[in-house]
Amino acid sequence: MQSFVFLSLAALSAAWPALQEIQNAHPNVLQEAAKLAARTLEGRQNDPLGTSRAETNCGPTPCLNFDPADQLVSTSGQWAYASPAASDIRGPCPGLNAAANHGYLPRNGIATIEQTVSGLGAAYNLGPVVTAALAAYAIALDGNVAEGVWSIGGPLPADLLVGGLLGTGQGLSYSHNNYEGDASIGRNDAYTNHGDAHSLNITKFERVYAVGGNDQSVDGRAQRYTLDKFRARFQEVQEESIANNPYFFTGVFSTVVVVPAAYNFVINLMSNHSLEEPSGYLDGYNFKSFFGVTGKPGSFVWKRGQERIPDRWYRRPSSNQYEGPDVVGDVALGYLAYPGTLKFGGNTGKVNTFTGVDVSDLTGGVYNAATLFQGNNFQCFAFQIAQNGIPSFLKGPLSEVNKIVAYVGGYFAPLLSGLNCPQLGAYDQGLFNSFPGYKYSPTGPDTNY
Ligand code: HEM
C-alpha cells in the first residue's frame, strides 16, 4: 500500500514541470490535477477507502495528457468490426473478445504471445510485460506450449490439441480455478451454471450497470463508473456467490487476483478519454458496447460474441500503459479499501458456509494478514502464487511439468525483478482439499463461444 501511494505521488511530482507547461493551454487540466494531488495526499493518511474513492479511471498513476493521434483506436479498414464466424472462438473476457472482433487479436480467437502483446497494446495500452505473462500463463495451462498458442474461449481445435500438452487445452472458457474464478462481474459462477462461466448473465450485468447511475436511456451517456464503485460491487457479488453457490471457492490466483483485476480492467482499459477528461470516463454507452449489450435498463440484450470497440473511442495514453505494478496495485487497494473482500477459502458444500484459510498457513508463514500489503509484498505474492500453483493444474511427468513452470517463470521474472521478494518456500494447496469447489473442474460442452 505504501509503495502504491508513493507511486502516485512520485508520478505527480515527476509530471509537475509538464503540468506547468500545459497550464496555459488547458487550465482545467491543471485544476483537475491539483484536485487529484489533494485527494492523493488525503489518501496517504492511511485512508485506503479515501484513496480508492479519489482514484481516477487511469489507475494508480493519473493520465494528465490527451493526445488524440496516439489514443484514437481505429475501427475501420483492417480494424473494422466483424462478428465472429461460427468457427471463431470467443470466451469469458469481453476485452479479448472485442479485440478479436476488430482484428487486434487474430479473429479466430487463437493467439501467440507476440500477437497478444501487440494487439492488446494497440487496442488498450495494456503493458507489454504483464500482457506477455498473462498470455504465457494461458498457453501453459489452457493452451499448448509446443504450438505456443492459447484460446480466448473454448477448446483449441483438434489439430492444435496434440503434442506437448500438459495443460487442458480447453481455453479460457474452461479454465475454472486456474484462470477463471467465482464472483465475476457479469458471468455466473461455473458451478451454478452447469460449468458455463463464460456466457454473460444479463441480470448480473443489469446490476453492475446500475452502480453507474440512474440513466434509463438507450445511450446511457449519463452513467459514470469508477474503480471504487466497482470495488464495492465486487463485495456485493462475493456475498451473493457465498449465499447461492455451495461450491464457491477462491482460487488463489484466479479468484483472489484475476477476478478483481478484471473489474478494474473495465475502468482502466475500457474508459474513453478526452481533452476534458484525460484520465478517462466510462459511461453506459461505452460499457455496453465493450460487453456486447444493447438496449436500456430493464430490457438489455446480450449479443453473444458481439463485443465491440466503440467508434471514436480513445484508449489510455501510451505514456501511461497499464503494467504489472498497476494491475496488482489496483487489486491491493481494493482489498485495503474493502477488507472483507480478501478471502482465501470457500463454501464447504452448502451455501453460506464460507470457511477461510489463513494466508500464513498457505505460504509457510512467509506472508500473513498484516504483512501481505507491506512494501511490495502483494505484488510478490500475486505473481509468486500464480507460478507456484501451476503444477497442481498440469498432468504429466515431473520433469515436463518443471519445464512448463520454467517457461512461465521466464515471463513472470520481469514482474518480480527488483522487488526483493521473500522466498516462497512451502505453498500448501493441500489446505484446500476440504473445499468441493477446489476440485470442481468443468470441461463443458465443446462450444466456440
Ligand atoms: C492476455 C490478456 C488477458 C487475459 C489472459 C484475460 C483473461 C481473462 C479471464 C480468464 C477472465 C475470467 C475471469 C473471471 O472469472 O471473472 C477475464 C475476464 C474479464 N476480462 Fe480479461 N483477460 C485479458 C485481457 C483483458 C483486457 C485487455 C480487458 C479489458 C480491455 C479485459 C477485461 C476483462 C473483463 C471486464 C472481465 C470480466 C467479464 C465478466 O465477468 O463479465 N481482459 N479475462
| CATH superfamily ID and name for 69-439 | Chloroperoxidase-like (1.10.489.10)
Mean of the per-residue pLDDT values for the chain?
A: 90
* Assigned C-alpha cell, 34: 491539483
pLDDT on residue 20 = 35
Q: Is the pLDDT of residue 386 over 90?
A: yes
| Side chain identity, residue 222 | A
Q: Is the pLDDT of residue 164 over 90?
A: no
* Rounded percentage of the chain residues whose pLDDT exceeds 90: 82
Q: Is the CB of 393 under 6 A from ligand 1?
A: no
Give 117: exposed, middle or buried? Use CB within 10 Å, 0-12, 13-18, 19+. Answer: buried
Q: Is the CB of 92 under 6 A from ligand 1?
A: yes
Q: Is the pLDDT of residue 102 over 90?
A: yes
For ligand 1, mutation pick of 93, 268, 273 (most atoms within 8 Å of CB): 93
Nearest CA to ligand 1 atom 42: 95
pLDDT on residue 24 = 35
Confidence of residue 370 (pLDDT cuts 50, 70, 90): confident
| Side chain identity, residue 293 | V
Q: Is the pLDDT of residue 45 over 80?
A: no
Q: Which atom of ligand 1 is nearest to the CA of 181?
A: 15
- C-alpha of residue 265 to centroid of ligand 1, in Å: 7
pLDDT on residue 8 = 38
pLDDT on residue 266 = 98
Residue 296: C-alpha distances to residues 26, 203, 215, 310, 311 (Å): 35, 12, 9, 17, 19
Nearest CA to ligand 1 atom 25: 95
- Give the lowest-confidence range in 24-28, 130-134, 187-191, 422-426: 24-28
Nearest CA to ligand 1 atom 32: 95
Q: Is the pLDDT of residue 407 over 60?
A: yes
Helix (H, G, I), strand (E, B) or coil at 29: helix
What are the extents of the domains in the chain?
Answer: 69-439
Confidence of residue 250 (pLDDT cuts 50, 70, 90): very high
Confidence of residue 285 (pLDDT cuts 50, 70, 90): very high
Q: Is the CB of 265 under 6 A from ligand 1?
A: yes
Q: Which of 223, 194, 189, 190 is nearest to 206 (CA)?
A: 223
pLDDT on residue 430 = 87
Question: Length of the chain, please?
Answer: 449
- C-alpha of residue 94 to centroid of ligand 1, in Å: 6
